[in-house]
Structure 1
Amino acid sequence: MTDVHWLDDNQLDAWKKFVAVVELLPGVLDSQLQRDAELSHFEYFVLAMLSEAPSRTLRMTALAGATNATLPRLSHVASRLEKKGFVERTPCEEDKRATNARLTELGYEKVVATAPGHVATVRENVIDPLSPEDVAHLDRLMGRILATLDPEHRFNPGARGA
C-alpha cells in the first residue's frame, strides 16, 4: 500500500464535512416526518415518487430504481403502506409477471398534507443556509458525484414530476 494517494488536508476536511452531512441529514428528515406524518423518510420518498408518476403508478422494479431500493426492501415498505391505505399493488396489465404500485387517493392526500413540513425541514437544514450561488454549486457538485455513483442514471433525481 505504498502507492496510496492520501487526501490532503483540504480534501480530508471536505470529506469529513460531507460524511457528517450524509450521517446527520437522514435523522433530521426522519424525525420531522415521523413526528408530523408518522412516516419514515423512505416511506415518504416512495409516496412522493408515485405521486409524480403517470397515473400515480409505477412497476415495482421502476419504483425500486427511482428510490434506490432493493425489491425486498421496497416490497416490505409497500406492504406497510398498503396496510395504511396509501398504496395498492396489482398485477401489471402489460406484463403479468410484474407488479404495479399505485398511489391511492388517500396516499395522494397524505403526500399533499406532508409535503409542506418536509419542504420546510429541507429548506431550514439545507437550502436556507446557502446563497443562491451556493445552491447552484451544490447542484453542480452533487450532479458530478452522482454521475460517478450512478452512471446509468437509475436514481434520476433531476427528473421533474409528471
Structure 2
Amino acid sequence: MTNLGDRRLGLLVAVVGIVIIYMSLQLPEPMSGTHIAYGPGFFPALLGVAAVVAGVTLAIVQPSAEQNEDEDAAAPAETPRLGGPVLVLLAVLSYIYLSDLIGFIPLATATLAILLMFGGMRFPKAIALSLLASILIYLMFSKGLLVPLPRGLLQPWALWL
C-alpha cells in the first residue's frame, strides 16, 4: 500500500475511534447500588482510544521507501484470499446462533482452535491455548465484570462456574 493509502486508512481508523468514544460517552452511567465503578461505555471507550492511537500511528509513522520497495519486489502478485475473513464471519455467526445452546466455553474453545489451526498452529497447541483462553475470558467476564455468559452444555456444573 502506498504511503498516501496508509495515511488515509490511518485517519479513517482514527475517525472511527473518535466516533466510538463519542457514542460510548452517551451510554448510561453505572447502576446505583452496585459496586461497579464503570458503566457500559467503559470498554467501548477503551476500544475507541485504541483505534485513535492505532490510526494516528499508522498515519504518522511510515516505513522507509527502501522497505516498501523490498516488500513490493518480494510479494508475488496473487489474487486476494477470502478464506480468513469468511471463516471469521462464520465464527461470529456461530457464536450468535449457537452460544445459548452450546455455551461460551465449549463454543469459544472450538471456534478459537479452528481459527488458530487455520492460521497455522498445530492441533494440540491450538486446543490447549483455546481452552485456556476461553476459561480465562469466561472468568474475567462472568466473575470480574459480572457479565453473564451462556453456560449451555456446562449448565449441570454451574456451581463450579
Do both proteins adopt the same fold according to a TM-score greater than 0.5, normalized to the shorter chain? no
Higher strand share: 1
Higher RCO, Cα 8 Å, sep 6+: 1
Q: TM-score when scaled to structure 2?
A: 0.30
Higher helix share: 2
